[in-house]
Amino acid sequence: MTMTRRSIFRIGILALCIAGNLATTEAGEEHLALKAAHMLDVESGKILEDVTVLVAGETIEAVNPTKLPKGVEILDLGDRTLLPGLMDLHTHLLYSLEGDWVHRKVKEGPADAALRGVRNAATTLKAGFTTVRDVGGAGFADIALAHAIERGTIDGPHMFPAGHSLSITGGHCDTTGYAPGIAERGPEQGIADGVDEVLRAVRYQIKHGAKVIKVCATAGVLSFEGPVGAQQYSEEELRVIVEEARRHGLKVAAHAHGSEGILAAVKAGVSSIEHGSTLTDEIIEEMKRRGTYLVPTTYLADAIDLDSLPAPIRAKAESILPVAKKSLSRAIRAGVNIAFGTDAAVYPHGLNAREFSSLVDRGMTPIEAIRTATIYAADLLGVQDRGAIRVGLLADLIAVDGNPLDDVSTLESIAFVMKGGRVYHRP
């Protein structure tokens, strides 16, 4: 069941600032003490002063302990603000809108995508994003990338990969515009029509390591099929996808621009609506009733280079992006659950934090914008081991110059990154 915001806050600052005897650590765990002049407690929304966070192995052992272990390494971050690692729940690490991206799917294979992903994963981590939900790859290269990061072969954020996105034949997540026989795909590659095929598609993604199921409920922008908001999966098909994913403990993220497709996906029980460009009063009430999250990816509406797009795609972008901005503002005012996502790849990886200023521009306070990438993101992911600086959570920590509550754009320049107790970027 989705946590309410009130229940999230009940965790409280007392647990965070617990002081006293240090917990016993497992033999061999290394300690590191981080000192900072300031720390943002995202749960209370307060800035704490002169903070010490003791890290043991991969987790936070103490916050402001009364004493430190003998010989512990101390890393002084100086006059900086410490925050929990950020989370981006709508990335495409395997992709980028550079070069001949329009024809890439028929010129390159999964190995090319994986190599591109290595670069983009490292860039994303250095930008302060220690966890991502990667919503759609090719040839399971996203899952291979996640495994390589888990093994420590390459640097990158914790990943929740989707495998192939699910799409109707000729839909937004299919490859269209070529002669018959070119880039044809089936349920194993996510292209599925009807109840039996979508069921097989979900099971096949899970078999090969998907940690979330991504479905294209409507048409989209960066594709050559019909109107941008047209519904593509029926509510019945969507319901089967959700029910099967749920049996395996996975959530479903639904790409959806048009109101009919958004409403069908919400009623089918998806956990999040990605983009959500055309929200109606009915949709907003249904999302609030069910606790459905909106992942708005709104900075791309400010940043996308329209001149670089093919004419049909540009026309779709120009028609839907202004509508999406207004829909997000309505959702914020109405109190819809919102989690942070960028669609990184549509604009360069590493610029993910620019989403914060766009969220504030649409009506959020800075602390609420930051919560979308921390405690609310953790809630949508269904994890309880990250999203705040608290004893027992993963030592996913970042630091910035300045106070992000005064100027949320400070998050666009990260001075320090730790993931799972390991320092990846430092002043």
Task: Give the catalytic positions in this structure.
Answer: 214, 343
Residues recorded for the chain: 427
* Inter-residue contact 190 to 166 (CB < 8 Å): yes
CA distance 73 to 33: 6
CA distance 334 to 294: 12
Type of residue found at 276: G
DSSP secondary structure letters along 268-305: HT-SEEEE--S--HHHHHHHHHHT-EEE---HHHHH--
* Inter-residue contact 167 to 191 (CB < 8 Å): yes
Written as six digits, the tokens of 190 are 């996510």
Sheet holding 158-161, edge to edge: 86-91, 129-134, 158-161
Q: Which residues contact 243 (CB under 8 A, 6 or more apart)?
A: 269
Distance of CA 78 to the CA centre of its chain: 29
Q: Residue 260: exposed, middle, or buried by beta-carbon count in 10 A (0-12, 13-18, 19+)? A: middle
Q: Residue 341: exposed, middle, or buried by beta-carbon count in 10 A (0-12, 13-18, 19+)? A: buried
CA distance 177 to 66: 65
Which residue, 22, 34, 70, is CA-closest to 423?
A: 34
CA distance 46 to 39: 8
* Inter-residue contact 388 to 74 (CB < 8 Å): no
CA distance 91 to 133: 6
Q: Residue 161: beta bridge partners?
A: 134
Q: Residue 205: exposed, middle, or buried by beta-carbon count in 10 A (0-12, 13-18, 19+)? A: buried
CA distance 111 to 75: 39
Type of residue found at 406: D
